[in-house]
Structure 1
């Protein structure tokens, strides 16, 4: 019972909690897209964000306005000792307090689209109230002041107030223009009623300043809107990347699950199939060789030989599949030792010589003599050479020729090349032949079809040796397979006699 539970647990490799985490990411993607696509011109998409920024600006700059009012009142009292300035300062502080309280109340709410419009209107009304406070200041006069000092003082204060308002409320669109309309109106009334040139100039300067700073605030608003749009698009892309990464992780986990299931299946198949196959091969060999006595019917002897050959072929296929599975799983370990590539090649040629002779195929050897030994896995290298020789014998026609070369590479390594004069492989089919279970059109039409695992196994074994496999082929000209071992695998030794001679020569030169 416990084993069944553990097996079922092992099969559940996919992280099932990831789907719940993906829902939040997908929701963020949908929300961002809806926000970007909810308006045709995109001008009202970020109204809620801009209003939230205005609320934060009001709350963070709440202490600036009282300082400005105190400074303006102190300078005004110095120029004109009039108690009316204290009343104006009290009114301004109250209006500013209303604006701050409104911002605090708005900061505790999560706006909807309809509420955003309502709160925006409320903040515009608050700006108008503050503008009325500055209008009251604009109506102040100084009968006891000499010269134009009070006009200069009033104009400087109003321009400073317009600039502060533009910088602090540019996130509230048209806040500067609407807020200072009462101020400009009061100055205009004063200028019309008095007709004084200084009043007219002050009105024109203040109106020009309001228009200019409204233009500056509008440009800042649009720039900030563009930056927020880029930020939203970036967030959208990041969210989509998160979704793609999550899907990729899910696919990788499923692939790992499938690979684990495949490895378990192949391990089970290795045990379950090899045991009866050994019995089939053993008994069929006993029957075909007539160890226990002659078979009365010669057809039975032929059938037992067919059983043995078919069983051996099936065992070879199973071994190839298991080899490729171990290579893909990274469990193909090399048992390295020093060996002679020439000797291994000669042994493999002797093993396929009988099959080649049956097809009247000539195998020519072109070996460079006195090659040093290499550091490699003898069983793996033997498998490489046998696979390449078997393919060459399989696809070489009757009376053909196979050339086997062993020698040095230009980089100091060693190579083995096997070339036949068979039908060849079309150039576009070479990648197919080198892939697992891939077979070319010539192999499919051939009577001796295999699994298509020989060349991928060869390529993987050479890669484990840091080597290289090259396949060259042309139609009706034949195929050449080249296995290359790097120079790091070559065991180059220096004779001890030569070293002793060099040491003796250096000793004599010093003497």
Structure 2
């Protein structure tokens, strides 16, 4: 199974898992709504109750101070004992509510009975609301002789109370209703009882202000819910990241263990297979060459030749697998030295001449004569050239043509080009043939069998040199492979400062006028080796 198919399967599995997870969450949310009779999640409802309780505890002194101010102000139009009685009731109701809030903060948990706590809060807040509504009754026994300022002050106190309770009880709208509606009803009733249009207008304004504050409280509550949702989503993301980190750590540990097992296996395979292979190839070569006499049956020689070829193929496969494994593990070390890329190409062409002649192929070579030396791993470059040439010869039918060219690249580097007239590779199969054990469909049908490791090894080796690998092919017309060595791999030559041997023929003449030396502008030195003088 190739990487693209594997990626598609993994993506499909992830999408199915995500869809199943979303469906489960929707079912759970619907079940929770049916159980609770609302749209708020249990954890959100607990957080909203906790927010209300903490707000009440943090502003306890402020509410008591506000009630004391109202009680003192009421003494201007009402007897002092009425204001004192009202203040006492406010303090008592507030103590009950604060004690309930303190217990909730100290003992309540997510799995607590939230309905019971909600009922307790509603009753305590209702008691507070009724007590605060009693402020509108302070001084009403004066027989209508209350001053105008008292009614205005009571109206203003209603607005202040609505603002305070909206701030504290907005997380739980039911508490806002039971805590403020009694006060609004009491104030509106007192103003209507005055029997004047002005007070009717104040009563209507009191109701309108109450409705306005209710809408503001709903907006604040919605913002709070969004804040809690974002925080829950953040916590969920953090938990998922932690889980993914654990999974990735486990996957990395398994990958490292697998890499070590792979290295041990390859080392064992290298030793355990090479040793008998040497014996098999050696004895089969002796038998096929009939060194100790002719076989009684000629077919034995053919069998020995087949055994030798099979052993050589297996040894080549082992070497290629080991090379590719070392490259992938980052353990392939380049043994660099200076060499001529054209000489390496000629050596490889000579090694494969007999093979090309046996298939009746025409092999042409074109190498620039003035190419400078390059700083490369000679063994790796020879393997690159041999793999590409052997592929071209292998996949080119009889009577075809293979060409090899080495020249200067446009950027100052050097380029190796190999062309053939084989069946070509479809465009959609080029990524496949560049993978380990990947082969094109047409080449697999029309040519000799192979391991599919040649091109991946070539690509990896040239990338170790800092170069690039380019493969282009046209179906039924052939394939062209270009291997580029970067300019930093090219060793620049520096011209001598004076002609050789000139120091032997110098005459003792008076020192002439100083002449400027010949300026030489060499190619920038390679970072891999200092510039050398030719």
> 1:493 offset after TM fit, Å?
2.5
1:39 and 2:37 matched: no
Question: CA offset at residue 38 of structure 1?
Answer: 2.8
Cα pair 1:170 1:221 within 8 Å, conserved = yes
Report the equivalent of 2:461.
461
1:283 aligns with 2:283: yes
Query: Residues 145-196 of structure 1, C-alpha deviation per residue, up to 9 Å, x if partnerless?
Result: 9852222322222221121111111111132332223223333543455535
Native 8 Å contact 2:414 2:484 kept in 1: yes
Unaligned runs of 5+ in 1: 1-26, 507-511
In structure 2, distance between residues paired with 1:136 and 1:190: 11
Matched residue SS, 1:479: strand
Matched, 1:88 2:86: yes
Q: What SS does the aligned partner of 1:38 have?
A: helix
Classify the secondary structure of the residue corresponding to 1:108: helix
Q: CA deviation at 1:65?
A: 0.6
Cα-to-partner distance string for 1:357-379 (whole Å, 9 max, x where unaligned): 22222221111121111121111
The answer to whether the 8 A contact 2:151-2:191 is kept is no
Single out whichever of 342-351 and 70-79 deviates more from structure 2. 70-79
2:187 aligned residue: 187
> What CA distance in whole angstroms lies between the structure 2 residues aligned with 1:198 and 1:130?
29
Q: Deviations over 1:57-110 (max 9, x none)?
A: 112222221221233334444676723322222221111111100101112333
Shifted more, 160-169 versus 381-390: the winner is 160-169
Of the structure 1 ranges 356-365 and 381-390, higher mean CA displacement relative to structure 2 is found in 356-365
- How big is the shift at 1:316? 0.7
Instruction: Name the counterpart of 1:363.
Output: 363
Distance 1:302 1:192 in 2: 123
* Post-superposition offset of 1:461: 0.7
Corresponding residue of 1:141: 139
Alignment partner of 1:504 out of 499, 517, 523: 517
TM-score normalised per structure 1: 0.84
CA distance in 1, matches of 2:467, 2:499: 31
Q: Is the 8 A contact 1:187 1:199 kept in 2?
A: no
Shift of residue 382, structure 1, vs aligned partner = 0.5
Aligned residue for 1:493?
493
Counterpart in 2 of 1:20?
A: none
Aligned partner of 2:316 in structure 1 is 316
Aligned residues: 479
The alignment status of 1:66 with 2:68, answered yes or no, reads no
Cα gap change, 1:402/1:226 in structure 2, threshold over 3 Å: closer, same or farther?
Answer: same
Aligned to 2:96: 98
Q: 1:51 aligns with which of 49, 52, 57?
A: 49
- CA distance in structure 1 between the aligned counterparts of 2:181 and 2:476, rounded to whole angstroms: 93
For structure 2, the 5+ residue unaligned runs are 1-20, 501-513, 520-534
> How many angstroms apart in 2 are the aligned matches of 1:502 and 1:36?
97
Give 1:438 deviation, angstroms.
Answer: 0.9
- The whole-number CA distance in structure 1 between the counterparts of 2:516 and 2:238 is 68
Offset of residue 341 of structure 1: 0.5
Counterpart of 1:3? none
Checking the alignment, whether the CA contact within 8 Å between 1:176 and 1:210 is kept in structure 2 is: no
Classify 1:502/1:316 alpha carbon distance in 2 versus 1 (closer, same or farther; 3 Å).
Answer: farther
Q: Is the 8 A contact 1:422 1:479 kept in 2?
A: yes
Deviation of 1:122 after TM superposition, in Å, equals 1.9
Distance 2:313 2:172 in 1: 83
Of 442-451 and 389-398, more deviation after overlay is shown by 442-451
What residue number does 1:12 align with?
none
Measured in 1, the distance between the counterparts of 2:192 and 2:422 equals 110
Matched, 1:177 2:177: yes
Alignment of 1:345-384 (within 5 A): 345-384=345-384
CA contact under 8 A between 1:134 and 1:158: conserved in structure 2? no
1:240-289 Cα distance to aligned partner (Å, 9 max, x none) = 55545544554444444333322221211111000111112222233334
For residues 31 and 412 of structure 2, the distance between their equivalents in structure 1, rounded to whole angstroms, comes to 64
The answer on whether the counterparts of 2:396 and 2:423 sit within 8 Å (CA) in structure 1 is: yes
Could you tell me how far apart the structure 1 residues matched to 2:333 and 2:232 are? 51
Larger mean Cα displacement after TM superposition, 105-114 or 91-100: 105-114
Q: Distance in 1 between matches of 2:444 and 2:518?
A: 66
Cα displacement (A) at 1:290: 4.0
Map of 1:181-260 to 2, 5 A cutoff? 181-191=181-191, 193-195=193-195, 200-240=200-240, 242-244=242-244, 246-260=246-260
Seen in structure 2, the aligned counterparts of structure 1 residues 313 and 191 have a Cα distance that, compared at 3 Å, is closer
Deviation of the 1:53 alpha carbon: 1.5
* Distance in structure 1 (CA, Å) of the matches to 2:26 and 2:92: 40
Q: Provide Cα deviations, 1:420-472, integer angstroms capped at 9, x if missing partner.
A: 11222222222221111111123322462111111111111111111111112
The CA deviation string for residues 1-25 of structure 1, in whole angstroms up to 9 with x for no partner, is: xxxxxxxxxxxxxxxxxxxxxxxxx
Residue 180 to residue 298, structure 1, CA distance change in 2 (3 Å): closer
Partner of 2:425: 425
The alignment partner of 2:173 has SS state of: coil
Specify the alignment match of 2:505 in structure 1. none
Instruction: Determine if contact 1:342/1:367 at 8 Å carries over to the other structure.
Output: yes
- 1:190, 1:398 → 2: CA distance? 114
2:442 maps to 442
CA shift for structure 1 position 505: 5.7
In structure 2, the partner of 1:480 is 480
- The range that moved more, 99-108 or 209-218, is 209-218
| 1:9 corresponds to | none
Q: How far did residue 294 of structure 1 move?
A: 5.0
